[in-house]
Amino acid sequence: MEYNRILLKLSGESLMGDNQFGIDEERLNKYAEQIHEVAQMGIQIGIVIGGGNIFRGLSGTSKGFDRVKGDQMGMLATVINSLALSSALNSAGQRNRLFTAIRMEPVGELYSKWKAIESMEKGDVVIIAGGTGNPFFTTDTASALRGIEIEADAMLKGTRVDGVYTADPEKDPDATKFQTISFDEVYNRNLKVMDLTATTMCKENNLPIVVFNMDIYGNLKKLIQGENIGTLVK
pLDDT digits (tens, 9 = 90+) for 55-91: 877 776 777 789 999 999 999 999 999 999 999 999 9
For residues 99 and 116, give the distance between their C-alpha atoms in angstroms, rounded to a whole number: 8
Percent of the chain with pLDDT over 90: 84
Local confidence band at 149 (pLDDT 50, 70, 90 cut-offs): very high
Asked if 114 and 132 touch (Cβ cutoff 8 Å), the reply is: no
Name every residue whose Cβ is closer than 8 Å to that of residue 186 and which is 6 or more positions away in sequence.
164, 193, 199, 233
Read off the pLDDT of residues 170-199 as tens digits, 9 standing for 90 and up: 788 888 999 999 999 999 998 889 999 999
Q: DSSP 3-state assignment of 24? A: coil
pLDDT at 60: 67
- Rounded to two decimals, the pTM is 0.95
Q: Name which of 32-41, 48-57, 146-155 the model is least confident about.
A: 48-57
The residue extents of the domains of the chain are 5-233
What's the CATH superfamily of 5-233? Acetylglutamate kinase-like (3.40.1160.10)
Asked if 11 and 52 touch (Cβ cutoff 8 Å), the reply is: yes
Res 95 pLDDT > 90 = yes
Name every residue whose Cβ is closer than 8 Å to that of residue 21 and which is 6 or more positions away in sequence.
53, 54
